[in-house]
Amino acid sequence: MVASGIIALLKQPQRKLASTLAIGSLGFSLLLSFIAFAHVLRGWAHGSVVRETVSFTWLQFGHSAVDLGWVLDPLAAVMLVMVSFVGLLIFIYSVGYMAHDENFTRFFCFLSLFAGAMLGVVISNSLLLLFMCWEIVGLTSYLLIGFWYQKPAAAAAAKKAFITTRFGDIFFFLGIVWLFSQTGTLLFYNHGIGSLEPLSLAVLVTQHAGLGLSAAGAIGLLIFAGAVGKSGQLPLHVWLPDAMEGPTPVSALIHAATMVAAGVFLVARVYPLMAAGAPIMSIGAQPGGTSVALTVVTWVGAATAVFAALIAVAQNDIKRILAYSTVSQLGYMMAGLGLGGVAVGMFHLITHAFFKALLFLGAGSVIHGCHEEQDIRRMGGLKVDMPLTFITYAIGMLALCGFPIFFSGFWSKDGILEAAQHSSVIKGPFYLLVFGALLTAFYMTRQVCYVFLGYWRGPKPAYESPMVMTLPLVILAFFAMALGLIGTPAWPWFHAFLEGRAAEFSVHSLIEPGFLLLMATSSLVVFLGLGFGWRLYGEKSPKPEQPDALEKSVPWLWAPLRDRLYVDEFYGVTVIAFYAWWGRVADWIDRRVWGGIVALVAWIFALWAQLNRLLDINWVDGGFDKTCEELSEGGGLLASLQSGRVQNYLRILAVAVVALAVILFWSSRP
Amino acid sequence: MNAVFYILAALTLAGGLATVLLKQLVHCALAVTVAFAGLALLFLQLDAQFAGFAQILVYIGAVAILIVFAILLTRGSELPKDGVFSKTWFLGLVIAAAVFAVLGWAVLASVSAVPQQNAVPSVTVRDIGIALVGRYVLPLEIVALLLTAATIGAVIVAMHEKERPR
Amino acid sequence: MTTPLAGYLLVAALLFAIGLGGALVRRNAILVLIGIELMLNAANLNLIAFWRFGPHPEALTGMMFAIFSIAVAAAEAAVGLGLVIAIYRHTNTAELDKIDRMKG
Amino acid sequence: MIATPEATNPFFVNLDQIFVFLSNWLVGFLPAVLRPVAGVVLGVVAIVCVFPGLFALTTVFERKGLGRIQNRIGPNRVGPYGLFQPVADGIKSLTKEDIVPLRANAVVHFLAPLVLVVTVFMGFAVLPMGRNMVLVDMDAGLLFFFAMGAATELSVFMAGWSSRNKYSLLGAMRAVAQMISYEVVLLLSSVAVVMITGSLSLPKIVAAQNQYTGVFPHWYIFTPWGLAGFLMYAIAATAETNRSPFDLPEGESELVAGYHTEYSGFKFALFFLGEYLAMFSISGLGTTLFLGGWSAPFSFLVWVPSWFWFFGKVMLSIFVFIWMRGTLPRLRQDQLMNFAWKFVLPFTLLNLLVTALWRFMGEGWARWMVCTVILVAAYVVMGRVEMRSEHFGRRSYRYAE
């Protein structure tokens, strides 16, 4: 936050200072998060769930107060490390990528602001503070997407992103307010009376909010709606693909690692709230989530996964394919959370962050190499020109598809599939997820074949990106492979860490019959997808002019997929149309109704003025003037008496004397 | 005594009437002198010697002359062009008559109540002198002051202002 | 016939009326003043009549009053006529009807 | 020391009271009821006869006197030494045609001389011509005399105005103005005498003066204030009767004959008579007030009848009038008025103060000294200041508006 503030003040030319400042501050925060992680580890080693909170009163009105605060617990620690580490790599990468851009400092200012806000979301203890950082994240995503504001498409995309996320945030805010009104506090954990602690949860559970949902469930769903907006789940995902307009590091940062993860993190954070509804309730318990809220989350997640995967298949823009794959992976995470609880979902989030970041940065270096060319049909044969990028990109692709054993993607996706399998209530999501995995494998191979295999279809020869860009790729590739180990069923370190249990190494869980079957099916699915993809695009590299191979075979399916299943159009038709119509209605009302009222009032006043004038003329003036005239005449009469003729006075005097005398005598007559 | 009284009364009243009715202003002035003389004699008739002589000295000697002078100075002696009496003379007459009626009635009504005393009071100038400086010393001083003031005032009022520069 | 006092009083009243009539009827300012003089004299006559036929003539009040009244009347006549002369000099007329402007 | 000697010799006493006896004798013939009236009538007749006679004498006396002064003989044609000249004048005035100006105001014109003569004669009623020889002994005799004197101004004005002649009107106005201003002085100077004697009645005043210390009588003229008073009185008297230095109204050279220009014949004679009678009455009063009236000048002359002294003194005053007429030049109007209001009046007022001082300082020469010093000082100061400042500025012409 501080870094972004300072960079904002810097002028354009201080490029060096801006970048070093941003990277320095993020590096520093990475260091801090390591320390925190170590601290939590130590705590965890003693076998207790570490949760330290710091909270202070921010607003005091009346006797109720709004408190803000920070919390450090395993969930937060993991996210801290992941966000700052990935962020740091992306910062370094973007130094190279944005080298020739003139608003370099401004870019880094937004980046550091984004990172600061993201870290704020992760460690905040109060729902309100979380919401504030959430809003800043939304803002920075708008700024970064619309970074090249000259391009109208970028500006439109930024606006679109902002509005759709904002749409989700409305529900999020409603949830906050409702929670605040019920529990009286927004702090998650506050020595027992925090909103997520059993005491207030018990209160929430008892209230019924209709539709069979308990208050807790309802609030959970509202907050989940916020997450849907931010993470681009099914109804509100339209903004995410368009967000590719921004520079690649941005897309990487936003759509791979952090921002989208924020949604999932939020659901994870308020998981106890959502799970409160479930009859068999145990915190962080494995697949016992049968509360209504969680089922909803699961269904949304699964639907998004399949839906996005379908669209990804028919995309030609390299970044757009990755965007849709992110959406579907998020669907996976949501489903994981819904089914398997916090640990399963979070593990997939961590692994996905690394290899998706890798893929995006790889795409970035490809685009950089191909002189800003983004359409995969005009690339091909980059295996030769950009060998390092190709290798790292291939590793990332395999991790994403969930290539068995070696790649982290496999283990985290399996965890989700396992949870889906075991969930007692609903069977549907499992099959959807499996189908999704197939599709993922398919479109990733299609992309790799288009980009790296075959021959160069672009106008100018591509060249390898400089060291500063390829180094992060290599690091990320390493993690994409290594990270799987911490979450394997054999040694579920990550899950234990999150739940605060001791992680014991047990091979037998691996060879447990059910799990083996699951591993076999998923690997089968992956191989199926890869083969399918290779067969279509592998051998004969597609000609630029020819339509896509799949397109030839299944044109009726291809067209809608390419057009993103007309979701935008659908929205266009419904929501926008609705707004337009509503605008017209409002205008009509405004002009007719209010105008009418104003006219009426005007008419009344005119009438009143008229009345006043009449009143004034014949009453006030008339009356007043008449009396004045009478007075003056009377005055005139009197004045004539004072005529100055002395003898008049004498006469009056005499008459008066006579009159008095007469009266005197008359009255005193005996 | 009544005879003399009647004569004198007639004389005075004739003088008064003449003053009011005569056209020539100077004639009126003279008529008024006659009236004053008549009154002075009435005073003598009432054995108020000093008052009578004072009346003669003051009124006939000074006031009459003053009136005559005033008439001359204001060119009253020529015949006034548009009539002697003011336009509403009749009203004046009526009022005068009314006043006389009231006074007369008052006199007749009350005269019986006043105790009559016919003894001739012997008044010498010495008594008057003593009274003047004894009981009436204050009025005397005040009248003295008044007369001085009046003289000065009259002079100033009637003084011919120096020609104001045109 | 009537008692002597009544006679004098009647004469005084008549004289007073004549004086008042003169003051009211005549047009010339001086004659108004003369009228007033007559009225004053009538009053003096009254005073002395009452003094003469009053209960205690030796008290001299009536007569003294008359004498003082004569003095005052003289002063008044002097000032009055002075005024008339001043007005005449200013407005060239002694007609009362014409002298009704208060302007200087 | 202070004594009032009486004529012891019966002859002289009778002589003194001869007129009183005569009137009593005459009245005796009438019934008692009419006696008082008859007495008064007799007195009036006496006055009416004596003074016109004197008038006649003085006209001659005056003309011969003036002549003598102007070194000529004066009328001596008619009768021995011109003694019958008045008879001639009388006949002349009676026979002359009595012209009345056409537009003159007939009534007032006719009345003027009458009023004048009547009021002057009324004045004589109060003068004590001899011991016990006063027509009416009024308590406020002096006041009566001045009241009558006031009427003369009115008649003068009537005369002047009625003849509707500019000159006569102007003359009348001047005469009246002059007479009024000097009448004030006349009154105030006589007031001094009243203050000392303490009474307004003239016989009492004469009685007060009829005392002698050693040979000299107690006449008021021999007192400082008396002398000053008498002088002021004399000046005022001459002015009052429009005589000599003050005869501006009839100033022949300018205003033809003043207010009696339009008169001719008998009315003119009446005016003439009136004027001289006024002189007699004023000098009579003067003698009564200051020259001891009918009291003898020296104690040893007391035997002489009182009326002789009275008439002697009057004729003496007349002589002084004539003398002044012959010698003093006429005064200008503004000088005249100026003199009256700026010198004579203040001096008289001062004289009143001195008299008061005199009255309350008691006997002894101290009061003599104080009074004399004051009066002399005042005379010198006022005289010098007043008159010297009268240097004659440039002649300024003033035109009638």
The predicted-structure confidence for A320-343, as pLDDT tens digits, reads as follows 888 888 888 888 888 888 887 778
Interchain pair B103, C16: CB under 8 A: yes
pLDDT (mean) for A59-77: 77
Residue C1 pLDDT grade (very low, low, confident, very high; cuts 50, 70, 90): very low
Interchain pair A655, B95: CB under 8 A: yes
Q: Which residue of C has its CA nearest to B156?
A: C82
pLDDT (mean) for B78-107: 78
- Is A654 touching C (CB cutoff 8 A)? yes
- Identify the pLDDT of residue A286: 40
Of B30, B77, B125, the CB nearest to D139: B125
Q: Over the stretch A389-405, which tens digit does the pLDDT of each residue have?
A: 888 888 888 888 887 77
Give the type of residue at D276: Y
Residues 24-53 of C with CB under 8 A from A: 24, 29, 32
Mean pLDDT is lowest, of A130-139, A452-461, D25-34, for A452-461
Other beta carbons less than 10 A from residue D6's beta carbon: 13
| Touch between chain D and chain A: 3 or more Cβ pairs under 8 Å | no
Residue A309 contacts residue A293 (beta carbons within 8 Å): no
Q: CB contacts < 8 Å between B and D, how many?
A: 66
DSSP C57: G
Residue D145 contacts residue D126 (beta carbons within 8 Å): yes
Q: List per-residue pLDDT tens for chain D, 401 residues long.
A: 677 777 677 777 777 788 888 888 888 888 888 888 888 888 888 888 888 888 888 888 888 888 888 888 878 777 777 788 888 888 888 888 877 777 777 888 888 888 889 999 988 888 888 888 888 888 888 989 998 888 888 888 888 888 777 778 888 888 888 888 888 899 999 999 988 888 888 988 888 888 888 788 888 888 888 899 999 999 899 888 887 777 776 665 555 567 777 777 788 888 888 888 998 999 999 999 998 888 888 888 888 888 888 999 999 999 998 888 888 887 777 788 888 888 888 899 999 999 998 888 877 788 888 888 888 888 888 877 766 655 666 777 788 77
Interchain pair C100, A651: CB under 8 A: no
Structure tokens at C16: 């007073």
| A375 beta partners | A317
- Identify the pLDDT of residue A283: 41
**Domain span including residue C38:** 4-98
Interchain pair A658, B99: CB under 8 A: yes
pLDDT (mean) for B124-147: 87
Chains adjacent to D (≥3 CB pairs closer than 8 angstroms):
B
Give the type of residue at A311: I
Which of B25-39, C48-62, D125-139 has the highest average model confidence (pLDDT)?
A: B25-39
Residue A10 pLDDT grade (very low, low, confident, very high; cuts 50, 70, 90): low
Does the residue C90 lie in any domain? yes
How does the average pLDDT of chain A come out, rounded? 78
What percentage of residues in chain A have a pLDDT greater than 70? 84
Of A643, A644, A647, the CB nearest to C24: A647
- Identify the pLDDT of residue B147: 92
Q: Which residue ranges make up each domain of chain D?
A: 5-388
Does the residue C104 lie in any domain? no
| CA-to-CA dists, residue D149 to C97, D106, D118, D182, angstroms | 38, 25, 11, 12
- Identify the pLDDT of residue B39: 92
Vertex D15 angle, CA D12 and D18, to 5°: 150
Burial of A58 (0-12, 13-18, 19+ CB in 10 A): middle
CA pair distance D9, D210, nearest whole angstrom:
18
Q: Which residues of B touch D144 (CB under 8 A)?
A: 53
| CA-to-CA dists, residue D190 to D344, D352, D375, angstroms | 14, 10, 17
Q: What is the CATH number of the domain that holds C30?
A: 1.10.287.3510
- Identify the pLDDT of residue D166: 79
- Identify the pLDDT of residue D392: 66
Vertex A642 angle, CA A639 and A647, to 5°: 145
- Identify the pLDDT of residue A541: 61
How many domains is chain C built from?
1
Q: Over the stretch A12-36, which tens digit does the pLDDT of each residue have?
A: 566 677 777 777 777 888 888 888 7
Interchain pair B26, D139: CB under 8 A: no
Does the residue C28 lie in any domain? yes
Other beta carbons less than 10 A from residue A666's beta carbon: 8
CA nearest neighbour of A136 among A159, A165, A107, A156 = A165
The residue of B1, B63, B125 whose CB has the most chain C CBs within 10 angstroms, and thus the best one to mutate to test that interface, is B63
| CA-to-CA dists, residue D307 to A104, A221, D56, D201, angstroms | 157, 161, 20, 18
DSSP A549: H
Interchain pair A654, B106: CB under 8 A: no
Structure tokens at D389: 């400042």
Chains adjacent to A (≥3 CB pairs closer than 8 angstroms):
B, C
Interchain pair B46, C18: CB under 8 A: no
Interchain pair B57, D147: CB under 8 A: yes
Does the residue C91 lie in any domain? yes
Q: Which residues of A touch B97 (CB under 8 A)?
A: none
pLDDT (mean) for A569-594: 81
Does the residue C71 lie in any domain? yes
Residue A198 has pLDDT above 60, yes or no: yes
Q: Which residues of D touch B72 (CB under 8 A)?
A: 161, 169, 173
Chains adjacent to C (≥3 CB pairs closer than 8 angstroms):
A, B
Interchain pair C70, B80: CB under 8 A: no
Does the residue C62 lie in any domain? yes
- Identify the pLDDT of residue B144: 92
Give the predicted TM-score (pTM) of the model.
Answer: 0.54
pLDDT (mean) for A568-572: 75
Q: Which residues of D touch B126 (CB under 8 A)?
A: 198-199
Q: Which residues of A touch B105 (CB under 8 A)?
A: 665
Catalogue the long-range contacts made by D210-216 (C-beta closer than 8 Å, 24 or more residues apart). D210/D4, D210/D292, D210/D293, D210/D295, D211/D2, D211/D3, D211/D4, D212/D2, D212/D3, D212/D4, D212/D5, D212/D298, D212/D299, D213/D1, D213/D2, D214/D1, D214/D299, D215/D298, D215/D299, D215/D300, D216/D298, D216/D299
More confident site: D360 or C43: C43
To the nearest whole angstrom, how far is the Cα of B96 from the nearest Cα of chain C? 5
Residues whose CB is less than 8 angstroms from the CB of residue A656 and which lie 6 or more positions away in sequence, other chains included: none
pLDDT (mean) for A108-127: 82
Of D139, D147, D158, the CB nearest to B61: D147
- Is D37 touching B (CB cutoff 8 A)? no
Interchain pair B98, A651: CB under 8 A: no
To the nearest whole angstrom, how far is the Cα of C58 from the nearest Cα of chain A? 31
Interchain pair D158, B30: CB under 8 A: yes
To the nearest whole angstrom, how far is the Cα of B95 from the nearest Cα of chain D? 33
- Is D240 touching B (CB cutoff 8 A)? no
Of B53, B69, B126, the CB nearest to D144: B53
- Identify the pLDDT of residue A289: 43
Residue A90 has pLDDT above 50, yes or no: yes
To the nearest whole angstrom, how far is the Cα of A645 from the nearest Cα of chain C? 5
Q: Over the stretch A223-262, which tens digit does the pLDDT of each residue have?
A: 888 888 888 887 787 888 888 877 887 777 777 777 778 8
Catalogue the long-range contacts made by D4-13 (C-beta closer than 8 Å, 24 or more residues apart). D4/D210, D4/D211, D4/D212, D5/D212, D5/D299, D5/D302, D6/D302, D7/D302, D7/D303, D7/D304, D8/D303, D9/D303, D12/D303, D12/D304, D12/D305
- How big is chain D, counted in residues? 401
Q: Which residues of D touch B30 (CB under 8 A)?
A: 108, 158
- Is B133 touching D (CB cutoff 8 A)? no
Q: Which residues of A touch C102 (CB under 8 A)?
A: 644
* CA dihedral angle for residue B53, residue B57, residue B63, residue B65, rounded to 10 degrees: 140
Interchain pair A651, B102: CB under 8 A: no
